[in-house]
Amino acid sequence: MAREYKLNELDDLLAEFDYPVGTDEVASDCDDVTLVLADGTANLGETVARSTNGPFDSVDELRSEVLSLLPRRAVGEPFQSEGEG
């Protein structure tokens, strides 16, 4: 069954893994997960499968890797920082 998560829900999903966790395990377990991004969608399993890093020791490490693999526009408008007014 396909699962869909907003990007701001990613930590909850990644917290389900036992750490350290390998790239292959995350890619396999998340092959049915669609991330809803600011500009489209991405399959989480396919995204993690592109990683050349791992194993990951924490949710923070894995989240950082996922975010680095997503398109630049995935998390919002480019070149804008939250908190700037």
* Mean pLDDT across 14-19: 97
Q: Is 77 contained in some domain? A: no
pLDDT in tens, 25-83: 999 999 999 999 988 899 999 999 999 998 999 999 999 999 999 987 666 554 444 44
Per-residue pLDDT, 9:
94
Measured CA to CA, the distance from residue 13 to residue 36 in angstroms comes to 13
Which residues have CB under 8 Å from 13's CB, separation 6+?
A: 5, 30, 33, 44
Q: Is 83 contained in some domain? A: no
Q: Is 22 contained in some domain? A: yes
Q: Is 85 contained in some domain? A: no
Per-residue pLDDT, 45:
97
Q: Is 15 contained in some domain? A: yes
Q: Is 76 contained in some domain? A: no
The boundaries of the domain holding residue 58 are 3-70
Per-residue pLDDT, 80:
46
Q: Is 29 contained in some domain? A: yes
Q: How many domains does the chain have?
A: 1
pTM above 0.85, yes or no: no
DSSP the chain: --EEEEGGGHHHHHTTSPSSB-HHHHHHHTTTEEEEETTEEEEHHHHHHT-----B-SHHHHHHHHHHHS-GGGGSSTT--TT--
